[in-house]
Amino acid sequence: MTDTIIESGMTFVLPQGQYFRFEEAQAYQSVKAFSVTEMDLCYVEGNTLFLVELKRFYDPSNPKFMPKDISVEAVIEDLKTNFYKNAWHSLAMLAQNRSNTQTCMAGLRQPIDFEKCQIKLIFILNIAPNKDILPLYKEIAKKLTDVKALFRVDSVAVLDYDTAKDFYPNWIK
């Protein structure tokens, strides 16, 4: 059995019991009021935990949608801050349990050992075709240096939606 999740104009088809969303957990709801943020989607595949953040900057089907230019310095700064905070808060919630935030993983078919698993942070942007995201990736990877060290993050990826579908065709549609 799978679940289809649509968020920020992107579609994910995930096996039940292999993903969780902080926003659906009561424990996260209780700390959210204190400006705690989260990654949009967490997916477990084997011994790998993918924490995925989604942003929509392109929606040709919506005439009122105002696209953002990811080459503008203010947009880059906003994304860096947002991604950093979401990654930091999500990893902190998984690493400790003082606020019962680890209960968000209760629906997983097989528990994942946070201390031993591989952790991959993926930031997926729904952007106009042919936009260069390499400068943004470099900025975000640099900003996340402390997070990568503290939580032993194995990799950070910043991908446009089409590239993400090519890299992860089993769960990004």
User: Over the chain (173 residues), what is each successive 10-residue block's mean pLDDT?
Assistant: 92 96 92 96 96 86 76 91 97 86 87 92 88 92 97 96 94 93
- Predicted TM-score (pTM) of the model is 0.92
Q: Which of 145, 146, 144 is nearest to 84 (CA)?
A: 144
CA gap 172, 169 in Å, rounded = 5
Half-sphere exposure of 47 (CA within 13 A, CB side): 6
Please give the mean pLDDT across all residues of the chain: 91
For residues 42, 48, 157, 65, the Cα torsion angle rounded to the nearest 10 degrees is -20
The pLDDT of residue 72:
87
The pLDDT of residue 116:
93
Strands 10-15, 2-7: pairing kind: antiparallel
Task: Locate the domains of the chain by residue range.
Answer: 2-167
> Which residue is associated with the tokens 């902190």?
92
pLDDT digits 0-9 by tens, 119-161: 999 999 988 777 889 999 999 999 999 999 999 999 999 999 9
